[in-house]
Amino acid sequence: MTEISELTALELRNALRHGEVGARDAAAHFLERIEALNPALGSFVTVTAERAMDAAAQADSDLAAGHAPGMLHGMPLAYKDLLDVAGVPTGYGTAAFEPTLAQKDSPLVATLSRAGAISLGKTQVPEFGLSCHSENDVAPPARNPLDPTRSAGGSSGGEAAAVAAGMLPFGPGNDGGGSVRIPASACGLIGLKPGLGTIPSDILDGIVDTFGAPRLTVSGPLARTALDAALLMDAMVDPEKETYLESLGEGAVDALRGLRIGVSTASPFASAYAIKLSSDAHAALDAGFKSLRARGHHLEEAEIFYDRAYPETFATVWTSGLAAAPIPPGSEAKLGTLARSFRERATAREHKTSVEAAARLTEIAADFRTQWGRYDVVLTPAMAFAPPEIGFYTSQDADTDYMRQCQYTPYTSMVNVSGLPAITVPTFTTAAGLSMGVQMIGRAGSEAMLLALAAQLTTM
């Protein structure tokens, strides 16, 4: 008999809804895997086993009583330690204050709970979700299941490592500068960053930040297959409709042909840092190129020119909110090197500087959309090189840390700025067994098409 963790998320969901697998059996199985694997991988910072088993027992009782199962009936998952789960501490990956016991669920948590999902705990993140790794000063780092000496990416690194290692069937992440796509690429998963506003819970506070800049962070699925990503995406958007899952059915994946795809290795960070692609990154891009061409798409080199002001403008917007972070007086010294330095700069910055940067970034975002809009899809490398070793970033001063992050992830934050959807897909395995892939950037509303392209790339 196939082990529960060997099923795809969609297979498990269907088995749970039909009573072929009990919710208690599924929760117990994944909790056992967490107990066995987490000490070596650092994926979870909190495991809520008793709460999970109680919720699973209730799910089994409801199904036995004839209640209609939700879209994610009995599905085990977990949440980044940046999201509130009622009754569970939220730590934000920082030593600057004690974890706070959440009084209510974050909106995304509430949505997925309404769909029937069962939380097994909270997963590791960098401090305040600021970085493209998942290392902090309060818990062991999230390690890559493909090579535990290396980073699982971030800021959804704990989540991605748990999914890749089979501690979860799939996982919800959030992405403010690549935080779904980066760990997905590092761990060999599919990671979808939806367009801003696609998931209703993302824009309850509006579509711009307090300075008027485009809101950067959206929620998105981490999954092993395109179908699994589509299922979780559906639950995030509307637990009553399987829109994305249905879009991949009845030959739709094979029927998708003839897209005009622009291929680019240009990065907006190149005006500030040396952006160098490894041979593995080139191999992954070439593999994606060939697979998409074999599927009948038209690929061509894209001429894209990025505003040289992007690196400084983005950094200002990215860090401005730290000035308002609720750090208790006298606790700044407990912040990590990067967060402490960025907070000092944000606090010293004049308000008008942040407002001006927000306006400039809005203009840059419009330019991105115009240039990319000449194509149905823009294809880039996912990352510039293979996932680095643990400590590659945190052993450095703040500026070197940030530079290295930009050099590893030269293609991700620009998509958040644009508000458009993008997906990373594995296309190549290195000689050392690490995963590399490509990113595909779509037009507004093209999430279903991107999922279909991901299916094409992973089912050749």
Give tens-digit pLDDT for 180-193.
999 999 999 999 99
Q: pLDDT tens, 202-235?
A: 999 999 999 999 999 999 999 999 999 999 999 9
- Of residues 80, 106, 354, 435, which has the active-site annotation? 80
Query: Does 329 have pLDDT greater than 80?
Result: yes
Q: pLDDT tens, 347-401?
A: 999 999 999 999 999 999 999 999 999 999 999 999 999 999 999 999 999 999 9
Amino acid at 204: L
Query: Does 1 have pLDDT greater than 80?
Result: no
Q: pLDDT tens, 16-33?
A: 999 999 999 999 999 999
Mean pLDDT of 149-175: 98
Quickly state the pLDDT bin for 460 (edges 50, 70, 90). low
pLDDT at 161: 98
Catalytic site residue 80?
yes
Query: Does 263 have pLDDT greater than 90?
Result: yes
Catalytic site residue 61?
no
- Of residues 119, 179, 291, 341, which has the active-site annotation? 179
Report the candidate in 376, 317, 378, 324 with the shortest Cα–Cα distance to residue 347.
324
Tell me the CA distances in angstroms from 407 to 7, 16, 180, 401, one per residue in order: 36, 43, 17, 10
Residues 6+ apart with CB under 8 A from 356: none
Alpha carbon distance 435, 235 (integer Å): 27
Quickly state the pLDDT bin for 245 (edges 50, 70, 90). very high
- Of residues 43, 151, 155, 291, which has the active-site annotation? 155
Centre a 10 Å sphere on the Cβ of residue 61 and count the other Cβ atoms it contains: 12
Amino acid at 408: Y
Q: Residue 261's beta-bridge partner residues?
A: 299, 377
pLDDT at 250: 87
Quickly state the pLDDT bin for 260 (edges 50, 70, 90). very high
Query: Does 179 have pLDDT greater than 80?
Result: yes
Percent over 90 (pLDDT), the chain: 98
Residue matched to tokens 């240039």: 371
Q: pLDDT tens, 424-444?
A: 999 999 999 999 999 999 999
Mean pLDDT of 134-144: 98
What DSSP state is assigned to residue 324? G
Query: Does 44 have pLDDT greater than 60?
Result: yes
Alpha carbon distance 80, 159 (integer Å): 7
pTM of the full predicted structure? 0.98
Decide: 122 and 81 in contact? Cβ < 8 Å.
Answer: yes
Four-residue CA torsion sign, 412, 439, 220, 74:
negative
Q: Which domains does the chain have, with CATH numbers?
A: 4-458 (3.90.1300.10)
Centre a 10 Å sphere on the Cβ of residue 243 and count the other Cβ atoms it contains: 14
